[in-house]
Amino acid sequence: MKNSSMYEFAREQFSAVGVDTEAALEALNEIPVSMHCWQGDDVDGFEAPEKAGAGNGCVATGNYLGKASNPAELMADLEQAASHIPGPLRLNLHANYATDGSPLPERNELTVENFRSWIDWAKANQFGIDFNPTSFSHPKAEDGFTLSHKDVGIRQFWIEHCIASRKIGAAIGEELNSPVVNNIWIPDGYKDTPADRMAPRVRLMESLDAILAEDVSKKWNIDAVESKLFGIGVESYTVGSSEFYLGYAATRQIALCLDAGHFHPTESVADKISAALLYVPELLLHVSRGVRWDSDHVVALDDPTTAILQECVSSGQMDRIHVGLDFFDASINRIAAWVIGTRNAKKGLLKGLLQPTKQLRELEQAGDYTSRLAMMEDARSLPWGTVWNEYCERQQTAGDNQWLGAVKRYEQEELVKR
């Protein structure tokens, strides 16, 4: 059977429970997903290795062939991945992926011109851009502290880097006519039990205030802060914890980043969205998958992930939520990892858009929880995959089970030569 006839059949089935698949597809096409540049090269970036220093918590394990090691390779790989992903995309850039300038300036002196090639690339490929200061993998972060460091000079360096990043974000946003989400994540914390839990948090709060004090366009640069439960080598205490940043984002009215891998494993990140949005103006999601101690597996369409993406759309708050990805897996084809994870994020959003939300709410309002559960569970087996494949077709992108061959060919033709 042709997909188009299958789609007509699926459309009727959804329509029977009051869901308009055409409206869902239109809405899906309005939600960009921000693809993270760092899946393509295991978070290495382009700085000279002696400058980059040790990793601090962002560890990609595996040694799959063909890692991108320069801007041209990373851009080509991103284009290959993007060609298998339907709908709008943004590029989530880290400051250590500066492309232009020889030598590159220190991180606290970076300017928009150091990202000129990326801006041109984004224009050519119709991507928006998001940005992140890189406060790790650097000699000044080697003891694991940055914005909360005891040493005022080191703190000042990272404050300047974050200010430079905000200015870069605003300049890129204005040039692309699309606001840049600028997300601060720092690795700061202790492996072992601290004697003073307060002092580093006071220093982090003051550093963030100094960063935000710089007058940067709010129209083009959206500040966000990202919490974490723990990291490798930072098992006992993370300065930028969930409570720290929820309080910070709420009192400073900036965006809060929820990384799906940064909470206790049984916490529902989906449930945090409606609570946080009462107090912070916007949310950034780092869609990711935590597995035991690791928070960065390729996004799967598992229940917790689907619940997050469904909640984004069914909350009716999509205009205040930015969807970004954050995973790094070096044990499989890196381009396939991007494609799988990004398609899954979009599938989760589509599943949310195809939920009979209005009807479920009416049942809830009427107190008919039996029917609510029945409808919710029956909705799970509606043919959303057919609607997804229709979307891929309309976007001239391969449907499920149709894209991997091209990625394998690219591996044979390009990646093996690296």
Which of residues 94 and 347 has its CB atom nearest to ligand RNT in the complex? 94
Annotated binding site for Mn(2+): 262, 294, 296
Is position 286 an interface residue for ligand RNT (rule: CB under 6 A)?
yes
Q: Does 282 bind Zn ion (CB under 5 A)?
A: no
Q: Is 259 in the site for Zn ion (CB under 5 A)?
A: yes
Alpha carbon of residue 122 to chain centroid: 17
Question: Residue 329, interface with Zn ion (CB under 5 A)?
Answer: no
Residue 58 site contact among Zn ion, ligand RNT, none (CB < 5 to 8 Å, cut-off depends on kind): ligand RNT
Among 42, 44, 130, 326, binds Zn ion (CB under 5 A): 326
Kindly tell me which of 230 and 403 has the beta carbon lying closer to ligand RNT.
230
Helix (H) or strand (E) holding 78: helix 71-82
For the chain, first and last CA: distance in Å? 42
**CB-CB contact of 138 with 51 (8 Å):** yes
Active-site residue identified among 130, 311, 326, 390: 326
């492309």: which residue's tokens? 99
- Classify the C-alpha dihedral 37-87-278-370 as positive or negative: negative
Residue 302 phi, psi dihedral angles, 5° rounding: -90, 175
308: contact with ligand RNT by CB under 6 A: no
Of the residues 97, 121, 185, 410, which one makes contact with ligand RNT according to CB under 6 A: 185
262 as an active site residue: the answer is yes
CB of 221 to ligand RNT, least distance (A): 17
- How distant, in Å, are the alpha carbons of 7, 174, 415 from that of 383? 9, 41, 36
Query: Tokens 């790989």 correspond to what residue?
Result: 77
Pairing outcome for strands 289-291 and 294-297 = antiparallel
In the residue annotation, 226 being an active-site residue is answered as yes
Catalytic option among 67, 161, 262, 347: 262
Report what 137 binds from Zn ion, ligand RNT, none; CB cut-off 5-8 Å by kind: none
Decide: is 132 part of the binding site for ligand RNT (CB under 6 A). Answer: yes
Active-site residue, selected from the candidate residues 47, 77, 188, 296: 296
Q: Is 319 tagged catalytic?
A: no
List the beta bridge partners of residue 219.
Answer: none
Min dist CB 311 to Zn ion, Å, is 18
Tokens of 199: 């002092």
Closest CB 342 distance from ligand RNT, rounded Å: 16
Examine residue 239 and tell whether it contacts ligand RNT (CB under 6 A). Answer: no
Tell the residue number behind the tokens 């993406």, with chain if given: 309
- Distance between CA atoms of residues 188 and 143, nearest Å: 9
Cα 106 to Cα 327: distance, rounded to the nearest angstrom:
26
Does the protein bind ligand RNT through residue 162 (CB under 6 A)? Answer: no
Give me 65's structure tokens.
């062939």
Contact between 57 and ligand RNT per CB under 6 A: yes
DSSP string covering 167-234: HHHHHHHHHHTSPEEEEE----EESS--S-SHHHHHHHHHHHHHHHHS---TTTEEEEEE--S-BTTB
**Nearer Cβ to Zn ion, position 163 or 287?**
287
216 makes contact with ligand RNT (CB under 6 A): no
- Give binding residues as ranges: 262, 294, 296
296 is annotated as an active-site residue: yes
In the complex, what is the shortest distance from the CB of residue 50 to ligand RNT, in angstroms, rounded to a whole number?
Answer: 21
Residue 171 CB, nearest distance to ligand RNT (Å)? Answer: 20
Using rule CB under 6 A, residue 228 touches ligand RNT: yes
SS3 292: coil
Amino acid at position 269, single letter: V
Applying CB under 5 A, which of residues 84, 272, 286, 334 lies at the interface with Zn ion? 286
Q: Quick check: helix, strand or coil at residue 371?
A: helix
- Catalytic residue positions? 185, 226, 228, 259, 262, 286, 294, 296, 326
Q: Which chain residues interact with ligand RNT by CB under 6 A?
A: 38, 43, 57-58, 94, 132, 185, 226, 228, 259, 286, 295, 326
Q: Which chain residues interact with Zn ion by CB under 5 A?
A: 259, 286, 326
